[in-house]
A and B are shown apart, each in its own frame.
Chain A
Amino acid sequence: MLKIEGLTASVDGKAILKGIDLVVPDGEVHAIMGPNGSGKSTLSYVLAGRDGYEVTGGSAAFDGADLLAMEPEARAAAGLFLAFQYPVELPGVNNANFLRTALNAQRRARGEAELDAVQFLKLSRAEAKRLSMPDDMLKRNVNVGFSGGEKKRNEVLQMAILRPKLAILDETDSGLDIDALKIVADGVNALRGPATSALVITHYQRLLDYIVPDRVHVLAGGRIIRSGGPELALELEASGYASVVAEAA
């Protein structure tokens, strides 16, 4: 699914990622944990292709294609989804209209038939219901006036409707109460399958109680300093990042 080799990147001339090697096979969920400032969000933005995040070396292949050479919208159409840590408000833009436009843009890019308004309404209502979200979320303007929890849930709803192959969740759990956390986890778990993968970026182990990862990686100082099974998350929770970082140094 995703194969990253020796990836280095800088922001405003400052090196943030200093050589990332990571392979996420089809159907697996990997967690990336690490202290603040370790480069977690930078990694997600680099993979999604945000302007200003400059790749200085290495490679990233997505289903064998050169991910880093693609425009952000082409990466989306290829099946990469980023759930934002801080979802962006789009005043005056209806959530359902936004999602349908996005979904159809992706389908067009993949050579698939577009969904008409009725088909989309059916799909979006079904997904909202499955995630126990009120219909009115779709009628409101994108993230405008949403609480922190609603914004995160809206990200999960978008993910459910867009059905990506690889979902990257950038600290989607931050600021969520336990109920909202479960909804987010349900959304990710529902997506799990032999052909889909997820990269769950989180600061805390808590989310991983609900989304059990296949692998856990610790990112510190722009490098993955340790990888392991789900038990690594528990170890971090117990002993903190400092000891793991010190051990690796």
Chain B
Amino acid sequence: MSESATLETLNAVTATPYKWGFSTDIEMDMAPKGLTEDTIRLISARKEEPAWLLAWRLEAFAVWQKMEEPDWARVKHPPIDYQDLHYYAAPKKKAGPKSLDEVDPELLRTYEKLGIPLKERAILAGVEGADGEGDRPQVAMDAVFDSVSVATTFKATLAKAGVIFCPISEAVREHPNLVQKYLGSVVPQSDNFFAALNCAVFTDGSFVYIPPGVRCPMELSTYFRINARNTGQFERTLIIADAGSYVSYLEGCTAPQRDENQLHAAVVELIAHDDAQIKYSTVQNWYPGDAEGRGGIYNFVTKRGDCRGARSKISWTQVETGSAITWKYPSCVLRGDDSVGEFYSVAVTTNYQQADTGTKMIHIGRNTRSTIVSKGISAGHSNNTYRGQVKVMPKAHGARNHTQCDSLLIGSTCGAHTVPYIESRNPTAKLEHEATTSKIAEDQLFYCRQRGLSEEDAVGLIVNGFCKDVLKELPMEFAVEAQKLLAVSLEGSVG
């Protein structure tokens, strides 16, 4: 009895409309629907790319055509018609506006809804002279507005430190040697179906290079937004931390609300040389579809970090609350001796969302260490799967892994699944795996309410407690945002 009453409340709370849904009506320069070699040539030409990159894209396209969409994940969706999508969309370029008054008001409204401060809006909109003095907090942002990066901020401060942070299309022009050396070196064209597609048609993304011994003077941040109707979004991010350097990179997403499904297949490659550290944090809040499971983003992402150097370290922290489908396994290849890989994840699914997410830790070097902490929260009719692989290669003497995998169920119509793959080819390796599944108990909710908390606040408190080990890994300003996001995502689901 008490159970059913709680469920009712849960369902009411979970079915909260998406609060960040909006779309911007801006003149678009759009490629016709469909994907052929010509589409790729068009993209490459629009971006004024060198011949080697076009050849690389076409190679990827040839590989992709022979591949099949993977079907091993615990996600279901109608077949995607890859010929029914636009592969290129860019806001039409005008000469740089002189002030905010000249900026497309639609664009400004988008920034406003995103909560971007006024000064930054001007910079983002490319207003001339807006990025002069630096009394802004130390967060640099490279906004990807659909496919073309509208503007890049804080270049001066970063340039002083020798840090390169720019749209990858710009890096292709300005730093071709770096891009050619590293692009595809972690996630090759043939890696998987979605990565191959991305290699063929990626339009933009971020590029970061931290020179040897440099600690990046600020957190680097990117807002990704999908904005054109029916446009697949294929970002490509490449981050290189040279020997002894450090960088923290933040990625946050919100997306406009729409009815049809949208394909999103990003690739992120990280390279850490000797003694370098990369911390990559994501808050993902793409449109998840409505309460009946209509619409929402299909998020098929390949993220991989290569601890190429000795004593290097790569940490992935992600808070995944959005998307109709999440297919994502940020991984670490622990090649350098004594290198460290970390994966901290919170994945929340409500309504009819499906998430199949986890990580791969590939231990190649000696004394390599990895930590996996995964927290899955399912509500409504959703399905949440942790899928993780820990692989120890023959030469990885003394490799260690600790995996902690916890699932929290809200209500009784959702599913939580844990699929660990553990493979050790070295007898000195120490691997630990712990997994728990629990429910938000009626007695916990009642206890909180008896102390004066509303049911929603109680759910927020319990869920944030459950996720604490992951949230504490986020940079401060992101952690606060993530906590709010968790509470909002589970509003109405007694989460």
Asked, given contacts A88-B444, A90-B444, A93-B461, whether A106 binds B466 with beta carbons under 8 Å apart, the answer is no
Query: Chain B contacts of A76 at CB under 8 A?
Result: 449-452
B434-461 CB mask vs A (1 if < 8 Å, else 0) is 0000000111101111111111010001
In chain A, residues 50-74, which have Cβ atoms closer than 8 Å to a Cβ of chain B? 50-54, 71-73
Contact yes or no, A158 B451, CB < 8 A: yes
In chain B, residues 448-478, which have Cβ atoms closer than 8 Å to a Cβ of chain A? 448-455, 457, 461-462, 464-469
Contact yes or no, B1 A88, CB < 8 A: no
Query: Chain A contacts of B443 at CB under 8 A?
Result: 88
Contact yes or no, A103 B452, CB < 8 A: yes
Complex Cα spacing A103 to B448, Å: 11
Complex Cα spacing A227 to B452, Å: 32
A14, chain B: closest CB distance, angstroms = 11
Most central of B2, B442, B464 by chain A CB within 10 Å: B2
Interface residues on A, range: 35 or more
Asked, given contacts A72-B446, A162-B452, whether A141 binds B465 with beta carbons under 8 Å apart, the answer is yes
* Nearest CB in chain A to that of B466: its residue: A92
Complex Cα spacing A119 to B448, Å: 22
Asked, given contacts A50-B2, A92-B467, whether A105 binds B453 with beta carbons under 8 Å apart, the answer is yes
A87-100 CB mask vs B (1 if < 8 Å, else 0) is 11111110000110
In chain B, residues 1-42, which have Cβ atoms closer than 8 Å to a Cβ of chain A? 1-3, 5-6
B409, chain A: closest CB distance, angstroms = 15
Residue of B441, B450, B451, B454 near A98 (CB, 8 A) is: B451
Interface residues on B, range: 20 to 34
Query: Chain A contacts of B6 at CB under 8 A?
Result: 51
Contact yes or no, A93 B465, CB < 8 A: yes
Complex Cα spacing A168 to B5, Å: 24
Contact yes or no, A91 B466, CB < 8 A: yes
Asked, given contacts A105-B452, A109-B452, whether A88 binds B447 with beta carbons under 8 Å apart, the answer is yes
Residue of B3, B446, B461, B467 near A101 (CB, 8 A) is: B461
Most central of A49, A52, A77, A89 by chain B CB within 10 Å: A52
A183 within 8 A of B: no
B487, chain A: closest CB distance, angstroms = 12
Judged by DSSP, the binding face of A is mixed
Count A-B pairs with CB separation below 8 Å.
89
Query: Chain A contacts of B452 at CB under 8 A?
Result: 73, 76-77, 102-103, 105-106, 109, 162
Query: Chain A contacts of B1 at CB under 8 A?
Result: 11-12, 51-52, 54
Query: Chain B contacts of A54 at CB under 8 A?
Result: 1
Contact yes or no, B441 A92, CB < 8 A: no
Query: Chain A contacts of B465 at CB under 8 A?
Result: 90-93, 141
Complex Cα spacing A29 to B1, Å: 33
Query: Chain A contacts of B442 at CB under 8 A?
Result: 51-52
Contact yes or no, B453 A87, CB < 8 A: no
* Nearest CB in chain B to that of A87: its residue: B447
Contact yes or no, B468 A72, CB < 8 A: no
Asked, given contacts A12-B1, A50-B2, whether A102 binds B447 with beta carbons under 8 Å apart, the answer is no
A84 within 8 A of B: yes
Contact yes or no, A101 B2, CB < 8 A: no
Residue of B447, B462, B467 near A84 (CB, 8 A) is: B447
Contact yes or no, A48 B466, CB < 8 A: no
Asked, given contacts A51-B442, A93-B465, A141-B465, whether A72 binds B457 with beta carbons under 8 Å apart, the answer is no
Contact yes or no, A48 B462, CB < 8 A: no
Asked, given contacts A73-B452, A88-B443, A162-B452, whether A105 binds B462 with beta carbons under 8 Å apart, the answer is no
Contact yes or no, A50 B444, CB < 8 A: no
* Nearest CB in chain A to that of B9: its residue: A51
A82 within 8 A of B: yes
B315, chain A: closest CB distance, angstroms = 20
Complex Cα spacing A99 to B461, Å: 11
Contact yes or no, B2 A98, CB < 8 A: no
Contact yes or no, A48 B447, CB < 8 A: no
Contact yes or no, A71 B449, CB < 8 A: yes
* Nearest CB in chain B to that of A110: its residue: B452
Most central of B6, B446, B455 by chain A CB within 10 Å: B446
Query: Chain B contacts of A11 at CB under 8 A?
Result: 1
In chain B, residues 153-206, which have Cβ atoms closer than 8 Å to a Cβ of chain A? none
B344, chain A: closest CB distance, angstroms = 14
In chain A, residues 18-75, which have Cβ atoms closer than 8 Å to a Cβ of chain B? 48-54, 71-73, 75
Residue of B5, B447, B451, B464 near A51 (CB, 8 A) is: B5
Contact yes or no, B466 A73, CB < 8 A: no
Query: Chain B contacts of A99 at CB under 8 A?
Result: 451
Complex Cα spacing A73 to B443, Å: 14
Complex Cα spacing A11 to B454, Å: 24
Asked, given contacts A50-B2, A73-B453, A105-B453, whether A88 binds B461 with beta carbons under 8 Å apart, the answer is no
A213, chain B: closest CB distance, angstroms = 23
Q: Known contacts A88-B443, A91-B466; can you find 14 more A-B pairs with CB under 8 A?
A: A50-B2, A51-B2, A51-B5, A54-B1, A72-B450, A76-B449, A87-B447, A92-B466, A92-B468, A98-B461, A101-B461, A102-B453, A105-B453, A105-B457
24 of the cross-chain contacts (CB-CB < 8 Å) are A51-B1, A51-B2, A51-B5, A51-B6, A52-B2, A52-B5, A72-B450, A76-B450, A88-B444, A88-B446, A89-B444, A90-B448, A90-B462, A90-B465, A92-B465, A92-B466, A93-B462, A98-B448, A99-B451, A102-B448, A102-B453, A105-B457, A106-B452, A158-B451
Q: Which 7 A-B pairs have the closest CB atoms?
A: A52-B2, A92-B465, A93-B465, A102-B451, A76-B452, A106-B452, A88-B447
